[in-house]
């Protein structure tokens, strides 16, 4: 569970910096402890329950905080989940950007995403228990929308901006589902094979090969 603690701390620091919890964001030590306890309680509960079955009472009881404290910072359990998830996604995107934006390529993006999934297995497995709610992978890939769309007409000149947008949305959904299935199956396939499968899927959507496969590099 060491990665879950790491991700929770990242999410916590991001939310503090952005003032997600309070307008003045000046939190005393006791409040910080309560917020950390709430987030930890949620992830502990997610080990045995789906998000839709977790109540505010469940979280407060496990975190040993009162409901007033919870509602001061969150609307409900899905809101708590979303705030943590999006904060972690933003931090992950920033890490990937540092590695990908110079000489951007789809292969480099997929390779970085797969590496982060593997390095944070506990966290990503938690998210796959709630595939209809999770936006983690979708947010990461979507953040590179301009770069990904730019590669399409560069290789297929007849594509219009409107068609590229539609292709991207379809590719986004398919790639996210492909990765979620891989995580659910304990990542038994090597990351290099998943990278190739993802690119093959993109090629099948576009109807042509515009990105080299990992074994062709």
Residue 11 lies in a domain: yes
Residue 88 lies in a domain: no
Rounded Cα–Cα distance for residues 159 and 149 (Å): 10
Same domain, 195 and 150: yes
Number of folded domains that form the chain = 2
Kindly tell me the sign of the dihedral angle through the C-alpha atoms of 137, 142, 148, 153: positive
Residue 52 carries which DSSP code? G
197 closest CA partner among 110, 128, 125, 136: 110
Rounded Cα–Cα distance for residues 204 and 160 (Å): 18
**Ramachandran region, residue 65 (left: φ > 0; alpha: ψ -120 to 50; beta: rest):** beta
148 closest CA partner among 176, 109, 99, 90: 109
Residue 15 lies in a domain: yes
Residue 188 lies in a domain: yes
Residue 136 lies in a domain: yes
- pLDDT one digit per residue (tens) for the chain, 217 residues: 444 444 545 444 455 444 444 433 456 788 888 988 998 899 889 888 888 899 999 999 999 999 999 999 999 999 998 888 777 787 788 888 888 877 888 888 999 999 988 887 777 777 777 666 667 888 889 989 998 898 898 888 898 999 999 999 999 999 999 998 999 888 999 999 999 999 999 999 888 887 876 555 4
For residue 168, how many other CB atoms are within 10 A of its CB?
19
Same domain, 13 and 44: yes
Same domain, 52 and 114: no
Residue 144 domain boundaries: 105-216
Same domain, 207 and 114: yes
Sort 57 into a burial class: Cβ within 10 Å, 0-12 / 13-18 / 19+. exposed
* pLDDT score recorded for residue 131: 63
User: Is the pTM value of this prediction over 0.85?
Assistant: no
Residue 114 lies in a domain: yes
């Amino acid at each position: 569970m060491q990665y879950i603690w790491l991700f929770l701390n990242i999410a916590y620091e991001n939310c503090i910096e952005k003032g997600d919890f309070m307008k003045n964001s000046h939190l005393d030590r006791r409040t910080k402890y309560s917020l950390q306890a709430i987030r930890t309680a949620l992830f502990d509960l997610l080990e045995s329950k789906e998000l839709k079955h977790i109540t505010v009472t469940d979280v407060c009881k496990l975190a040993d905080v009162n409901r007033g404290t919870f509602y001061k910072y969150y609307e409900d359990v899905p809101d708590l989940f979303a705030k943590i998830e999006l904060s972690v996604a933003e931090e992950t995107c920033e890490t990937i950007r540092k590695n990908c934006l110079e000489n951007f390529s789809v292969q480099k993006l997929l390779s970085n995403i797969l590496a982060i999934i593997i390095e944070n297995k506990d966290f990503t497995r938690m998210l796959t228990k709630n595939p209809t709610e999770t936006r983690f992978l979708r947010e990461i890939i979507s953040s590179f929308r301009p770069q990904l769309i730019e590669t399409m007409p560069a290789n297929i000149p007849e594509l219009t901006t409107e068609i590229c947008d539609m292709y991207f949305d379809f590719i986004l959904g398919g790639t996210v589902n492909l990765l979620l299935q891989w995580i659910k199956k304990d990542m038994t396939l090597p990351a290099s094979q998943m990278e190739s499968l993802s690119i093959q899927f993109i090629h099948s959507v576009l109807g042509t090969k515009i990105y080299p496969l990992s074994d062709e590099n």
